[in-house]
Amino acid sequence: NAGVTQTPKFRVLKTGQSMTLLCAQDMNHEYMYWYRQDPGMGLRLIHYSVGEGTTAKGEVPDGYNVSRLKKQNFLLGLESAAPSQTSVYFCASSRSLGVTNQPQHFGDGTRLSIL
Amino acid sequence: AQKVTQAQTEISVVEKEDVTLDCVYETRDTTYYLFWYKQPPSGELVFLIRRNSFDEQNEISGRYSWNFQKSTSSFNFTITASQVVDSAVYFCALSEGGTDKLIFGTGTRLQVFP
């Protein structure tokens, strides 16, 4: 019963460094999402994917890239990290074929600090 | 445009008190879905309830109840006889039919003191 697994759980980067956050789900969900959570702002959608090989921009996509090469994995990349990207990042998945607007299942989050 | 407003930033109560968390939403769609999630101090997000726009029946689950009123665009959450374990940040969220993308409110931090 792994659900949604995020790797790593914590990371500290220096400004300008790059890194990739990995999200894996074992529920055969079609849709996957990346959010960031900042104090007082709730969760904001960065990018999402409605299926293998597809990605789309969310509310705050600048500075991030994503890839969905396999249905179960959704990668979030920071090419040149900036202090403004210090945040807690959550991955989520939802929707099996034939049903809509199902609850999203979230991973435990990745706490990322950019110095 | 979609928007979710949780005007209560933080609420503090003493154990066994009842508490209501407010959620007001905006959408132009006739088909939409509303959700509540709980984020305990450990940080994970826990799904609590999903309600679609065609179902205005209130729901009760143990000490939790939800009041959905389309006339006031509200989807309020009440905890009866609160307990310390209810201490968490609670998020209300909205998705429009067919998109599955969630728009979250800014959350309400509930602190329940013994």
pLDDT tens-place string over residues A26-53:
999 999 999 999 988 889 999 999 999 9
For residue A62, CA distances in Å to A13, A99, B9 come to 18, 31, 28
Q: How many CB pairs under 8 A join A and B?
A: 53
In this structure, are residues B97 and A100 in contact, taking their beta carbons and an 8 Å threshold? yes
With a cut of 70, say whether residue B101 has pLDDT above it: yes
Q: Which B residues 57-86 touch A at CB under 8 Å?
A: none
pLDDT in tens, B6-21: 999 999 999 999 999 9
Residues A60-108 have pLDDT tens digits of: 999 999 999 999 999 999 999 999 999 999 999 997 666 677 889 999 9
The yes-or-no verdict on residue B112 having pLDDT over 70 is: yes
Q: Find the residue in A nearest to B99 (Cα).
A: A101
- Residues of chain A found within 8 Å of residue B100, distances taken between Cβ atoms: 31, 50, 94-95, 100-102, 104
The pLDDT score that the predictor gives to residue B55 is 85
pLDDT score of B98 more than 90: no
Q: Residue A97: its pLDDT value, please?
A: 63
Chain segment B22-69, per-residue pLDDT in tens: 999 999 988 899 999 999 999 999 999 999 898 888 888 899 999 999
Closest by CA position to B106, among listed A46, A92, A39, A36: A39
| Chain A contact for B113 (CB, 8 A cutoff) | no
Asked if B44 reaches chain A (Cβ–Cβ under 8 Å), the answer is yes
Q: How far is A106 from chain B (nearest CA, A)?
A: 6
Res A96: pLDDT: 65
Those residues with Cβ within 8 angstroms of residue A21's Cβ, 6 or more apart along the chain or in another chain: A6, A7, A8, A34, A75, A76, A77, A89, A91, A110, A112
- Helix residue ranges, H only, chain A: none
Q: What is the pLDDT of residue A102?
A: 83
Specify the pLDDT at position B60: 86
Asked if A94 lies within 8 A of B100 by C-beta distance, the reply is yes
B52 and A101: CB-CB below 8 Å?
A: yes
Q: Cβ of B102 and A104 within 8 Å? A: yes
Residues of A with Cβ-Cβ distance to B43 under 8 angstroms: 88, 108-109
The predicted structure's pLDDT at residue A1: 62
Pairing label, strands A19-25, B19-21: unpaired
| Residue that is written with structure tokens 């006739």 in the block | B30
Q: How confident is the model at residue B78 (pLDDT cuts 50, 70, 90)?
A: very high
Q: Report CB contact under 8 Å: A41, B106.
A: yes
Residue of B77 and B31 predicted with greater confidence: B77
Partner residue opposite A48 with nearest CB, options B45, B52, B101: B101
pLDDT for position A98: 65
Confirm or reject contact between B102 and chain A (CB < 8 A).
yes
Q: What is the pLDDT of residues B34-45, one digit of tens each?
A: 999 999 999 999
